[in-house]
C-alpha cells in the first residue's frame, strides 16, 4: 500500500499562462467549494463530466467525492484564493472501476471554464496516474465523449489508448496500462 499522505500537503505550480494554482488532496471541508464550482460550470462541462444533463450535484455523490477510501479512491483539487477563502478551479479523481475488479480504476477531470487550455488538466491527470500506480492499480480507464477533443488529445499524449464502446455510442473509453513501481526507491516522493 502506498504511503498515506496528509491533506495538509499542497503543492504550488505555475501553469503555461503564468497563473499559479495549489494542488492538494481533497478534504471534507472542500464540499461547499465543490458545490460552488459545480454551480459555475457550463451545461457543456457538466455534460462532459456526467455524460448527462445535470442541474444539481447529488448530495450523496458529493459526500462520496470528499471522502475517498484510502488506497482505493483518490481526489485532487486545484485551488486559488477566492472571495470565500478558497476557490476550486479544477478537480480530478479516480475510484475503483468496479467492485469485481480491484486492478482497474476509473478517472474523471473537471475544470472551471476559464482554466482550460493552460495545462492544468495535464498536471492533474499526470498526478492521478502516479497515485494510481502507488495504489497498485494495473490500469486506469475513463469514459470520454467522442467529441471532447481536448480530453482525448490529452489522454493520447499521456499514453492512453482509445477503445470504442459499441456501435452508435457517442462516448469512448480511454485506457492506460499502469506499470507497477519496481521498488520504493523509484516511487516519487511527492505526488502533488
Partner 1 sequence: MNRPWLSQYPPGVPAEIDIEACASLKDLLSTRCTRFAELPAYSSMGTTLSFRQLDEASRAFAAWLQKAARLQHGDRVALMLPNLLQYPVALFGILRAGLVVVNVNPLYTPRELKHQLDDSGATAIVVLENFAHTLEQVIGSTAVRTVITTQVGDLLPPFKRWLTNAVVKRVKKLVPAWQLDAAVDFRRVLSAGRALTLDEVALGHDDLAFLQYTGGTTGVAKGAMLSHGNMVANVLQVAAWIGPGMQEGAETLVIPLPLYHVFALTGALSFFSTGTQTVLVANPRDLPAFIQVLKASRPTAIIGVNTLFRALLEAPGFAELDLIGLKLAVAGGMAVQQTVAHRWKQATGVPLVEGYGLTESAPVAIANPIDIAEWSGGIGVPLPSTEAAILDVEGQPLPPGHVGEIALRGPQVMKGYWNRPEDTAQVLRAGGWMRTGDMGTMDERGSFRLTDRKKDMIVVSGFKVFPNEVEDVLALHPGVLEAAVIGVPNERAGEAVKAVVVRKDPALTEADLVAHCRLHLTGYKVPHIVEFRGEPLPKSNIGKILRRELRHAAPTQTGSPAPAGPG
* Sites of contact with partner 1 (CB under 8 A): 42-44, 47-53, 55, 58, 61, 93-98, 106-108, 143, 145-147, 149, 152-153, 156-157, 162, 164-166, 168-171
For the bound state, the minimum distance from the C-beta of residue 92 to partner 1, rounded and expressed in Å, comes to: 11
CA 163 – CA 169 distance, rounded (Å): 11
> Beta-strand (E) ranges in the chain?
10-14, 20-25, 74-82, 85-98, 101-111, 139-145, 161-164, 171-177
- Give the shortest CB-19-to-partner 1 separation in angstroms: 17
Confirm if 122 and 154 have CB atoms less than 8 A apart: yes
Q: How far is the CB of 187 from partner 1 (least distance, A)?
A: 25
C-beta closer to partner 1: residue 86 or 173: 173
**Between residues 19 and 49, which has the closer beta carbon with respect to partner 1?**
49
Instruction: Kindly state the smallest distance separating residue 93's Cβ from partner 1, in Å.
Output: 7
| Nearer CB in complex with partner 1: 29/162 | 162
What span, in angstroms and rounded, lies between the C-alpha atoms of 120 and 76?
12
Rounded least distance, CB 191 to partner 1, Å? 20
Of the pair 84, 100, the CB lying nearest partner 1 is at 100
CA distances from 145 to 39, 51, 117, 148 (A): 21, 7, 18, 5
**Greatest distance between any 2 Cα atoms in the chain:** 47
Residues 6+ apart with CB under 8 A from 133: 178, 179, 180, 181
Nearer to partner 1, 11 or 54 (CB): 54
Amino acid at each position: 500500500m502506498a504511503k498515506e499522505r496528509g491533506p495538509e500537503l499542497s503543492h504550488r505550480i505555475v501553469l503555461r499562462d503564468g497563473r499559479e494554482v495549489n494542488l492538494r488532496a481533497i478534504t471534507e471541508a472542500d464540499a461547499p467549494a465543490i458545490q460552488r464550482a459545480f454551480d459555475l460550470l457550463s451545461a457543456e462541462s457538466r455534460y462532459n463530466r456526467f455524460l448527462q444533463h445535470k442541474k444539481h450535484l447529488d448530495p450523496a455523490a458529493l459526500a462520496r467525492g470528499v471522502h475517498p477510501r484510502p488506497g482505493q479512491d483518490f481526489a485532487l483539487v486545484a485551488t486559488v484564493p477566492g472571495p470565500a477563502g478558497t476557490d476550486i478551479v479544477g478537480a480530478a479523481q479516480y475510484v475503483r472501476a468496479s467492485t469485481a475488479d480491484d486492478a482497474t480504476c476509473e478517472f474523471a477531470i473537471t475544470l472551471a471554464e476559464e482554466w482550460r487550455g493552460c495545462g492544468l488538466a495535464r498536471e492533474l491527470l499526470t498526478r492521478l496516474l502516479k497515485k494510481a500506480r502507488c495504489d497498485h492499480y494495473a490500469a486506469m480507464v475513463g469514459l470520454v465523449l467522442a467529441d471532447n477533443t481536448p480530453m482525448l488529445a490529452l489522454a493520447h499524449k499521456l499514453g492512453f489508448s482509445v477503445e470504442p464502446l459499441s456501435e452508435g455510442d457517442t462516448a469512448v473509453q480511454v485506457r492506460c496500462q499502469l506499470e507497477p513501481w519496481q521498488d520504493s526507491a523509484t516511487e516519487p516522493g511527492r505526488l502533488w
